Amino acid sequence: MVQSASSPNKKSVGKTMNDNYVLQLQHIRKEYPGVVALKDVSLEVKEGEILALIGENGAGKSTLIKTCSGAVIPTAGKIIVNGKSFSHMTPQLAAENGIAIIYQEFNNVKGLSAAENLFLGNPIRKGIMIDRKAMEREAEKAFAQLNVKIDPKALVGDLTVGYQQMIEIAKAIQQDAKILIMDEPSAPLTSAEVESMFKVCELLRARGVSIIYISHRLEEIYRLSDRIVVLRDGEYIKTLITKESHVDELIHLMVGRDLNETYPPREHCIQEDVLLELKDVCGNGNENISFKLRKGEVLGLGGLIGAGRTELSEILFGAVKKTSGSIVFKGEEINPKTPREAIDMGIALVPEDRKRHGALLGISIKNNINMPIYRKISRASVINSKKEMTIAQKYERELLIKTPTLNQLVKNLSGGNQQKVIIGRWLAANSELIIFDEPTRGIDVGAKFEIYKLMNDLLKQGKTILLISSEMEELMGMSDRIIVLAEGKITGELSKEEFNQNAIMRMASSV
């Protein structure tokens, strides 16, 4: 294991805590049946610093922070908060000791106002009655402290994701949190919302609040953090001072190997035959969409949020009906009315939100992979369990899914492995066209490389890919051709030789 000169895993950890440290995790270990999620992990957080916590999906980041909130009880180790030592936390203990976590999935109640959410579980009362006016006044003050303008009376469900996140931060500060843990906070945000969040983080740091910031986006780590802790495969690797580190060093520490190429090279797989053609397709906010997609090609769909890319994929996958135009697939006009019909035709979708619309989190890997083909491997409604396991094992091996058992629930896998399970499902279904909608969102740099290699392998197997990505480098790095949309209309097309970030942005901004 790599160690730094100031490694918190050395014996000095056991000495009297430096007054400057508000949180210490000492030799944390967490075991689950068949797997060790954390192996002797230690770190320290200083008062008023932003400490970045990075690592590949499955490195143990989420498990570690959940030990701070009481959501996970460690098998061994100590948690020290402001000099007080605990064998484990509970949600109540965490709150009492000033620890708050903002998860990727917010805890807001959409049907309540911003003020009501801010005081959820602890409303201001006048006698036995809830004093909504007082809550609205206090909410307005809390939002003003963060330099954000949110109407306290507005329903949370009507607010943008960025504002919903600000309410979560305001709630934590309202509850006097001194240690704020943020788990992939920028993942659902627009660029403007991310910038607002950065300013709030810097404001909180200046006020002495300590922040543990988890992100797979290394540019954010360098923008915000003071120090960086790297985890790999559940183990502590190294602590670095951000301004003294380099991105190549971070990547090497995270993945345990050098990634010489961000995008793996691939063979030319494009054939002359057209697999998919859209002719003046309208519906779901799109107008007169026309293009051709050849077999073995990666066609990228570029555009800003709301451009209509996901909406177009929903039409192709049968989730939403088109209103006019025609779709020709493998030489025949099709009109899938349900996802089931699209799947039977050979069209698959790896959706943007894999947790809500992709993997079935509450069932096993084996069940997820076989889901679209149970009719084929069953007789008289009885599943052939031998075929079921053989198919699951095949894609576990081919996709390098990290799991102790195929009976593991998908919700217990890392984001990258969840994505592999979804891809395995569509390989089992023998899909010919695979639509990838934001395939690496929320996935770290090492897992991204693996997903890119999988996509290249799919092309070699004769598959065709429609790629939707908001990451410009990914779009240009993986596509053979790019079509750009703006407000539901095609505004331009670029061949590989013409790829240019400024050109794509101009097209994405035009109407």
Amino acid 510: pLDDT = 63
Residue 184 pLDDT:
83
At the fourth CATH level, which superfamily is domain 1-98+178-258? P-loop containing nucleotide triphosphate hydrolases (3.40.50.300)
Q: With CA atoms as reference, report the closest residue to 232 among 58, 17, 51.
A: 58
Smallest Cα–Cα separation from 254: which of 449, 407, 83? 449
Between 357 and 4, the more confident residue is: 357
Residue 355 has pLDDT above 80, yes or no: no
With bands split at pLDDT 50, 70 and 90, how would you rate the model's confidence at 395?
confident
* Amino acid in position 342: A
435 pLDDT exceeds 70?
yes
Place of tokens 């959706």: 351
Q: Which of 83-92, 155-164, 479-488 has the lowest mean pLDDT?
A: 155-164
pLDDT at 149: 86
Model pLDDT, residue 265: 84
Q: Which residues are CB-contacts of 176 (< 8 A; sequence separation ≥ 6)?
A: 98
141 SS3 class: helix
Residue-level pLDDT at 274: 96
CATH 3.40.50.300 fits 274-509, yes or no: yes
Q: What is the pLDDT of residues 459-475, one digit of tens each?
A: 998 999 999 988 788 89
The share of the chain scoring above pLDDT 70, in percent, equals 91
Name which residue leads in pLDDT, 494 or 408. Answer: 494
Beta pairing partners, 485: 490
pLDDT digits (tens, 9 = 90+) for 137-169: 999 988 888 888 889 999 988 888 888 888 888
**Distances from the Cα of 492 to the Cα of 296, 442, 489, angstroms:** 22, 28, 9
At a CB cut-off of 8 Å and minimum separation 6, what does 385 contact? none
d(CA 24, CA 80): 5
- Sorted by where each begins, the domain ranges of the chain are 1-98+178-258, 107-176, 274-509
The answer on pLDDT for 15 being more than 90 is no
CB-facing half-sphere around the CA of 103: CA atoms within 13 A: 11
| Range from 28-42, 191-205, 346-360, 414-428 carrying the lowest mean pLDDT | 346-360
Q: How far is CA 106 from CA 103, 117, 165, in A?
A: 6, 11, 7
**How confident is the model at residue 97, as a pLDDT?**
94
Pairing between strand 433-437 and 489-495? unpaired
- Measured between alpha carbons, how far is residue 91 from residues 94, 96, 105, 166, 182 in Å? 5, 9, 17, 21, 16
Do 274-509 and 1-98+178-258 fall under one CATH topology?
Answer: yes
What is the average pLDDT value for the chain, to the nearest integer? Answer: 85
| Whether residue 28 has pLDDT greater than 90 | yes
For tokens 């079935």, the residue is 360
Give me the pLDDT at residue 153, please.
92
pLDDT band at 317 (very low <50, low <70, confident <90, very high): very high
Whole-number pLDDT of residue 357: 59
> How high is the pLDDT of residue 3?
35
pLDDT at 360: 73
Most confident of 5-14, 333-342, 403-412: 333-342
pLDDT > 60? residue 333: yes
Angle of helix 161-174 versus helix 191-206 axis, rounded to 10: 10
Mean predicted confidence (pLDDT) in 414-440: 84
Helices (H) and strands (E) in the chain, counts: 16, 24
Closest CA to 479 of 333, 306, 346, 309: 309
The rounded distance, in Å, linking the Cα atoms of 8 and 278 is: 58
pLDDT at 258 over 60: no
8 has a pLDDT exceeding 80: no
Q: What are the angstrom distances between the C-alpha of 159 and each of 138, 304, 357?
A: 19, 19, 22
- Mean per-residue pLDDT, 28-40: 86
Nearest to 416 by CA among 396, 453, 441: 441
